[in-house]
């Protein structure tokens, strides 16, 4: 982040072309400074720059603490007729215990594809709980196992997401005086 008189005036990009030891490679390119009247930070869940800004400008003052989930998701190609594009199935409970926040989703897509995933609240009490393993258990539910039978997993991924809703949202404008 680049500051001038306690205002964010832009960002400096990272250096490119550095090897694992930190030495410059032949394609080394130093980071550049990008100045802007307004800088918009869209780093996703708990971004590293956003975290610094929230602290520096006290953007979370009077706000609720944020809550997070980790979402584990796969895209499957399934035999014809299993699900229609646009079909939406949401699940509660199994495989998560009643003291764990979260739930599952299955979305029908075109070309006999579906997207399936499980979101698990990261404040779970059991240190042995593994959201990735819980997702594998979700797929073993008889209804879901039937949907996926003889199908093929074609993509997978996992990502965190904030789930606290409106009240933990940090103030998004700063400093308050734009003059």
Query: Residues near 23 by Cβ (< 8 Å), separated by ≥ 6?
Result: none
- Kindly identify the residues of this chain, within the stretch 102-161, that bind ligand FAD according to CB under 6 A: 117, 159, 161
- Is residue 47 a contact point for ligand FAD (CB under 6 A)? yes
Q: Is 42 in the site for ligand FAD (CB under 6 A)?
A: yes
Helix (H) or strand (E) holding 10: strand 7-12
Alpha helices (H) in 25-152, listed in sequence order? 48-56, 131-138, 142-148
C-beta closer to ligand FAD: residue 73 or 141:
73
Least distance CB 117 / ligand FAD (angstroms): 4
Q: How far is the CB of 31 from ligand FAD (least distance, A)?
A: 11
Letter string b/e over residues 139-167, b meaning 16 or more CB atoms within 10 A of that residue's CB: beeeebeebbeeeeeeeeeeeeeebeeee
Interface characters, 64-83, with ligand FAD (x: CB under 6 A): -------x-x----------
Q: How far apart are CA 159 and CA 124, in angstroms?
A: 17
Instruction: Give the separation between CA 65 and CA 122, rounded to whole angstroms.
Output: 13
Q: Which of 15, 29, 33, 43 binds ligand FAD (CB under 6 A)?
A: 43
49 binds ligand FAD (CB under 6 A): yes
* Residue ranges binding ligand FAD (CB under 6 A): 42-45, 47-49, 71, 73, 117, 159, 161
């Amino acid at each position: 982040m680049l500051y001038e008189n306690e205002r964010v005036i832009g960002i400096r990009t990272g250096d490119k072309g550095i090897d694992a030891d930190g030495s410059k490679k032949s394609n080394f390119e130093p980071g550049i400074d990008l100045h802007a009247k307004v800088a918009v930070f869209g780093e996703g869940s708990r971004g590293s720059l956003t975290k610094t800004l929230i602290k520096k400008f006290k953007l979370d003052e009077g706000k609720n603490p944020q809550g997070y989930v980790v979402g584990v998701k796969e895209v499957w190609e399934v035999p014809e007729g299993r699900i229609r594009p646009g079909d939406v199935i949401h699940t509660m409970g199994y495989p998560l215990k009643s003291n764990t926040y979260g739930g599952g989703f299955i979305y029908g897509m075109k070309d006999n594809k579906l997207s399936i995933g499980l979101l698990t609240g990261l404040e779970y009490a059991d240190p042995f709980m593994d959201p990735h393993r819980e997702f594998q258990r979700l797929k073993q539910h008889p209804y879901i196992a039937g949907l996926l039978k003889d199908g093929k997993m074609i993509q997978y991924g996992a990502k965190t997401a904030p789930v606290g809703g409106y009240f933990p949202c940090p103030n998004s404008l700063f400093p308050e005086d734009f003059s």
